[in-house]
Amino acid sequence: MEPPILQLENADIFQRDTKVLSKVNITIQKGNFYYLIGKTGSGKSSLLKTLYGDLTLQKGKGTIVGFDLRKLKEKEIPFLRRKIGIVFQDFKLLNDRNVFDNLLFVLKATGWKDKTKMKEKIHEVLEKVGMKEKYYKQTFELSGGEQQRIAIARALLNDPELILADEPTGNLDPKTSLEVMNLLNEIHQSGKSILMATHDYALIVKFKQKTLKCEGGELFEVAQQAAL
């Protein structure tokens, strides 16, 4: 059996000097989809930041897409982030350039050189998220849902093994949230692993997946009904 795509063993998660989660144990296999739920301040974002190298794993063991989080060096973080796709609540798009150039910026930053291949890849991911016709638009001309689709396209550029989504529907209305969730679901069905932090219980009910909960400084898996 191939090793898990993400594994934490007895990991303590810190936000600066404060321990927010104790003795975290998670195993996510290739192709799994997990929700991450819990109140604001319960440690969800700190956990995700630890997974993509923004916060250091100080205690316990952790591996993600083949990287050892305890031994992760600053210079390795860009390589880690090539193998995972990150989707944020507030899109984090560059407002001074159009959709195509937003995606081109990421490819250049992650070491792509061939102009033809870059162009092909950008159109490929835009097609996946249903935004191929909008490649020339400025990001501020797009609706919130369209911006989040571009953010998801950006997360797919390097064909990541795992997508970490931090409240990807947090700034969207219910109808748009549903569209974005349908898109993430399609991406999952194409074989990608996803860990998604969310407050949106309507989505959890509609799209049933395994659920992890942060509460009282601990992380545990909960049954679907108990999540609500």
Residue 18 in tokens: 């404060």
Tell me, yes or no, whether 70 lies in a domain. Answer: yes
CA dihedral 108, 74, 92, 63 (to 10 degrees): 100
For residue 151, the enclosing domain spans 6-227
State the amino acid at position 191 in one-letter form.
G
pTM: 0.92
- Spatial separation of the C-alpha atoms in residues 1 and 29, rounded to whole Å: 10
Q: Is residue 96 part of a domain?
A: yes
Residues 35-76 pLDDT 10s = 999 988 899 999 999 999 999 999 999 999 999 999 999 999
pLDDT at site 224: 62
**Any idea how long the chain is?**
228
CATH number at 180 reads: 3.40.50.300
